[in-house]
A and B are shown apart, each in its own frame.
Chain A
Amino acid sequence: MDRAQLLSMFRTMATEIAEKDFSHVTEESVIADLGIDSLGMLELVGSMERELEVQIPDDELVGIQTVDQLLDLVEKRTT
C-alpha cells in the first residue's frame, strides 16, 4: 500500500469515527488541529492496525504530532 492509499485510508476512517469531512487533510496536517479528539485518534490508530494487520507500540505513538509522522510509523510496519 503506497502513501497516497494510506492517506486516503486515514481520511476515510477519520470520517467514520468523528462523523465529519476530512477530505482536506494532508500529510502536513497537525493532528491536534484536525477536529478529532485524542480518544477518536486512538480509535483511528486501532482501525488502521486492524485493517493492515500491524501493531504499533504505545511508546512510539507518544511523540506523534502530524499525519505524516503517523503514516511513517504505519508504513514502516507494513513494508
Chain B
Amino acid sequence: MRPHDAARTLVEALETIPRRPGRGFRFVGSDRQERFFTYEEMWQEALRRGAHLSAMGLDPGDAVALVIPEGHEFVLTFLGATVAGIVPVPVFPRATFKAIDGYVDVLSHIVESSGARVMLTMEATRPFVEKVMERDVGLERLAVCEEAFGGDAPDFERPDVAPDDLCFLQFTSGSTSRPKGVMVTHANLVANSRAFLGPHGLDRNDDDVGVSWLPLYHDMGLIGFILGTLVCDIPVVILPTATFARTPRLWLETLHRFRGTITYAPNFAYQLAAKRVRDADLAELDLSAVRVAGCGAEPIRARTLLDFAARLAPTGFDGDRVFLPSYGMAEATLAITFHQLGNPIVVDRVDAEAMKRGEATPAREGATEGVLEIVSCGAAFPEHELEIVDEQGEPIGERRVGEIVTRGPSVTQGYYRNPEATAEGWRDGWLRTGDLGYRAGGNVHICGRIKDLIIVNGANHYPQDIEWVVGDLEGVRRGNVVAFGVMRDGTDELVIVAEGNSGDAPALRKAIAQAVAERFGLSPGHVGIVPVGTLPKTSSGKAQRKKTKAMFEEGHLPEHA
C-alpha cells in the first residue's frame, strides 16, 4: 500500500491516514453534543455505509444526492459513497425562514441534472425534501440516514477507484434556473489539497487543528476542512453552520478550547463576529494559537479584517501574521491563489477613475477621495498557471484589468452532462473564471465579476434569476426589470429597478420586495420604479444591467415617488 503522502485518491488517503492517538474529526451537532471519530472509525464506518449504499442498487459511477443537515452523518455518508465508487452530490438542506417552493425547485434541478436516482436525507429534513418525489425528475428512492445505515452491513466487494474517476459533483450555488455540477476527480482533489495545504499554501504541520462552521455542501467547507484535511492529515472540529449566525461566539470559543490553528470565513463573518463579541468574552479567550485566518468566497474588504484584528487583539489574535486572503472557485476544485502566509495583508490603493477604464493605476500618495482599496490574493501554486487576458484571450501586462484564466492539475474537466456550458468556460485546458482582476508585483487582485454575479453574505445570486421572478409579478413586464449589486459595507446590496406607472409605484415596490424575500431570502436595499421606456435596452430589447447600474449610481434614474 502507498504511504499516506503518496495517496492518489480520497479512498487511499482515508485508508492510509496515520492512526495516531487522539487524532480524528470532532463534530458538534445541532444539539451541541460532540461526537469524535478517529480515522480508523471513519474508515470502518465508510466501509459499512458503502456496503449499504451499494446494496441499494447503486453502482460505481452512479450519483447519489445527499441532503444531510448533521455534519457527522453527512461526512460519513459522503465517504461511504466514495469508498464504493459512488458519486456523492451534496445539496444544501433547506435554509430556515425561506419559502419552500423555491427550495424544491433547486433541489429538483440538481437531482435531474446529476441523474441521481437515490437521495439520502434525515428525519428532520425529510418533510421538505420528499416533495421532490412528486416532481418528474427521475428520483426513485428517498432514504433517511437514521434507518438506511442501521443493522449489519451486507457483503460488499470494494471496487477499484482510480485517480481520474469522478470523486463528487459540486453544484455551483445561486442560480435556480441553471444549476451546474462541477466534475471533481480524485486527481483534482488530491492535487488541489496538496497545493493549498502544502509548503506554498498553508504549510501544514503536526500541531495543526482546523476549526470550521462553513457549510459542508460547498467547496470551501467541504474541501477546505473535510476532504483536503484528510488528504493532508489535519484533525478538525466542525460546527453546525446555523449556529454561527446565532452565536458567533461559539466559533471563537471553539478555536480557544481546541487550540485551533486554521480557520476560514467569508468577509461578512469577520464583520459579524467583531460586532457581536462582548468585552467579557474577549477576556476569557486565548486565540494566540491561530496561525491562519483565511478569507474567501466573496470580495474581501481590508477594513473588515483590520477591524476584526483590532477587536480581537486582547485574545492574542495576531492580525499582522494570520490573515490569508484567498481566491478560488469550484471549477478549479477550490483554491487558485493564496496570499503569502505569515505576512500582513497587502492593500493596493488604486485610482477609481482609471479603474473604470480597466487601468489599475496607483492612487496619488495621501489621496483619500476617488481611491479604491483592493486586497492582494497572492499568486498561483506550483504546477499551476494563471494569466490575465483581454477580450480576445491575449495575455495583458501588469496593472491592466482583464479576465483571470488558470490551468493546472486542480482545474476540473467541466460541468456534468453540460457540454455547452463546459465549452463556454474551458478553452484548450484553460479555465475562464469569469472574474476580473489585475496583477501587481506578481500578485493577483480581484476587482469584479464579468457575469454580474451578486454576492450577499457569501451567497451568489444571478441577476437574471431575480429579474425573472420580478418580471412575473403583476404590473411588471419581463425584460423591463434590472437587478444588480452595489457594494456597501463590504458586501453587495441588492438593487432592483423596474418599469411601471407612477400610481402603482408604492404597491409595486412592496410586492417586489416580498417576492424577492420569499424566493431568495434576500431583502433588497433599494427598489426603484421608473417610467416605462426609461431602462436602457440592447438591440434585442433586453434591459442592460451595466448601463442601468451606472445611471443609478450617478443619480440619473427618474424614479417615481
Contact = CB atoms under 8 A, between A and B. Distances in A.
Nearest to A45: B246
A37 B128 contact: no
A55 B30 CA distance: 11
B372 interface: no
Contacts of A63: 127
A37 B268 CA distance: 14
B145 interface: no
Contact of A35 (B31, B94, B96, B517): B517
Contacts of A39: 245, 268, 457
A57 B243 CA distance: 10
A49 interface: yes
B240 interface: yes
Interface centre among B240, B242, B268 (most CB of A within 10 A): B242
A35 B513 contact: yes
Contact of A49 (B124, B246, B248): B246
B517 A33 contact: yes
A59 B521 contact: no
B418 interface: no
Given A49-B246, A61-B96, A32 B32 contact: no
A68 interface: no
Interface string B89-129: 00001111111000000000000000000000000110110
A74 interface: no
Contacts of B133: none
B497 to A, nearest CB: 18
B522 A37 contact: yes
B535 to A, nearest CB: 24
B421 interface: no
A58 B242 contact: yes
B456 interface: yes
Nearest to B29: A58
B246 A43 contact: yes
A62 B125 contact: yes
B518 A46 contact: no
B157 to A, nearest CB: 36
B31 A42 contact: no
A52 interface: no
Contacts of A55: 32
Contact of A62 (B96, B240, B245, B268): B96
Given A37-B457, A37-B521, A59-B69, A32 B246 contact: no
Nearest to A36: B523
B417 to A, nearest CB: 31
B514 interface: yes
Contacts of A65: 97, 99
Contacts of B523: 18, 35-37, 40
Contacts of B248: 46
Q: For the side of the interface on A, what is the size category? A: 20 to 34
A41 B517 contact: no
A32 B29 CA distance: 26
Nearest to A56: B246
Nearest to B272: A43
Contacts of B502: none
A33 to B, nearest CB: 5
B247 interface: yes
A7 B391 CA distance: 55
A18 to B, nearest CB: 7
A38 B32 contact: no
Contacts of B517: 32-35, 37
A38 B240 CA distance: 16
Interface in B221-256: 240, 242-243, 245-248
B514 A58 contact: no
B513 A37 contact: no
Interface centre among A39, A42, A46, A63 (most CB of B within 10 A): A39
Interface centre among A34, A35, A40, A59 (most CB of B within 10 A): A59
B347 to A, nearest CB: 26
Contacts of A33: 514, 517-518
B139 to A, nearest CB: 21
B454 to A, nearest CB: 13
Given A34-B517, A36-B523, A46 B69 contact: no
A56 to B, nearest CB: 9
Contacts of A49: 246-247
Given A32-B99, A37-B456, A65-B97, A46 B513 contact: no
Contacts of A34: 517
Contacts of A50: 247
B272 A62 contact: no
Given A32-B518, A33-B518, A38 B246 contact: no
A38 B519 CA distance: 12
Contacts of A42: 96, 242, 245-246
Contacts of A45: 246
B457 A62 contact: no
Given A36-B523, A42-B245, A46-B246, A62 B128 contact: yes
Contacts of A40: 523
The 3 A-B residue pairs with the shortest CB-CB distance in the complex, in nearest-first order: A46-B246, A42-B245, A58-B30
13 contacts: A32-B99, A33-B517, A35-B513, A38-B95, A38-B96, A39-B268, A46-B246, A49-B246, A50-B247, A57-B30, A58-B124, A61-B96, A62-B94
Interface of A: 18, 31-43, 45-46, 49-50, 55, 57-59, 61-65
Given A37-B457, A59-B125, 12 more contacts: A32-B98, A32-B99, A32-B518, A33-B517, A35-B523, A36-B523, A42-B245, A45-B246, A62-B124, A62-B125, A62-B128, A65-B99
